[in-house]
Structure 1
């Protein structure tokens, strides 16, 4: 067998069939993830609402997702991962279809919050299910493959959404709802319940409440570090385009640069999954934090136009995106795997829910903090702060993974 063939086999083999059906449901769901990406454009172009109203709706969607992170985690431990995933998928399909039909501003805002609540409630269930199904030594690889499916689905759905919207915006909402139903069907037919009490292991384990989860110091340290890195990642979609615009670049330049992120994830996630899986979270987490922090830090040099003018530094923007994307590729799955390793069997859903809450909180705080810092101190300070935070997070992960047992 060739070296390439052996690498492919090592990457994809050894994972249980139930995991691959769960992976398939994720891919199907993301292939139809039209609405979130194009919601702002739908509200401003099709419905003629203001940009501020579109921002409010997006914030309400994020608020629903933040609440759902904890609710979904608790339900995953109480009623089961499969039941939570099915209920969340059905609720997401129904609320997404309604969102495409309502026209009143208040109804749209409330429904968008409901969509965020329903769609994000499934995430802790999926992560807990993967932790139940996959052996500890394969956690990074399993989460990497799942993250790859998410990004492939996102790329395809973003491309298809433009074609579908030409036939009417309502079809975006109905198509999204249909793929979510297909996701639920795959789970219903092929994915078993994996909660320990129902899977035949650990049924007598004591219940662990959220207060106990929050008193788990190593885990909460991981959550805090995740929040810090999440605020850095948010700069890619908020302060980065502003910085490029102020440096003389247009929307097409930003589009090409940020498209590198998705392209690199699709091309490199699977090869790097095998590499990261062999090294474990104690090596991968600090490395990912450094690449994220210093990748965004490089943007400070890209924003300074040289003698060639603005176009002469677009490659530095591309370089910075490449570096922090490598960090995202290795860090994100390793972070989820670390949560699986820290969480006890009866509380895996709760642990994944609190961890997901860190990402949701970062999506709310990161854009506001980055924008305010850019206006007050300038872009150089923002990108320098990203490098400092990434370095500090790397040190935190290094200390966390080497703590005495």
Structure 2
């Protein structure tokens, strides 16, 4: 597309990062998203090792089927870190695609093994764990990235720039939604491997949809509106499938931000008939911006008193920060795989900058880092605290 310089897979760093994965094997859906994201540009990562499954035979069979050498398939993450450290070509970054309750110990072990980390969300169960890992990562000189996989949609950066430039006036309201109906069937809690642990408090943590879904949308809102920070939240959560209690499958959250901005979030796995959509609407004093992930190639710009405008992905009139991650050109549809690829590429660039000691470049990078992960933990814990204490306002600090 004339006027837009697109990504085409050429290298952005000197060489691909030597990459391994913990979890993300045959029985889960998320592993393929990680591999799609990392390997979309084969100049950013090279998959060399894996501890893909707690069943080692299944790990080996799966790993060989996706092209990993058998001698670099491992029964567990501890063995992988130990053995890879002995190799001159050992992995230097690891992705953690395992259930929530394992994230903290694997991340800590990876950092102590000298590895950069890319971890599933929510990062950990406690803010204190996040702060501990942040300190450890700083001591080790390593990056911890979080796979908020929807945050790589380019038009989110267009929203960010338009809000920063005052194109909607003063921000008044932040409207957020992430709902689907695939949790209506209670039988899935017993049948689907990925669902079983998500509704088990010992493995998922203190929430179901607040952690599994809303952390994505919350991070996207912080990406779009970084100048507005949550001051307090009020949460009301429900377990419409009673067997899930005390975990919620539906929740409403009200937010107060700095500068008088208000917001709300609806998150649900029991929105019957809904086909997994995220919605962000930022309302200003002069105009509003609206983005839906089911139509990620369009951004709606509504100026009060004027006809609505639809901004299309990949067009020269968009900001350079948005078009920097254009892949297919405006005539062609992009989707979630492209978003994951953008997230992984941004983390690779951050790792490369960290390896080179370029702290100034790191400060300018916009990607889901350890701080975003800690904010996600705080979001979950504060929402749960509010709901479990009579739906009261609680401080976000």
TM value normalised by structure 2: 0.26
Higher strand share: 2
TM value normalised by structure 1: 0.25
Higher helix share: 1
Greater RCO (CA < 8 Å, at least 6 residues apart): 1
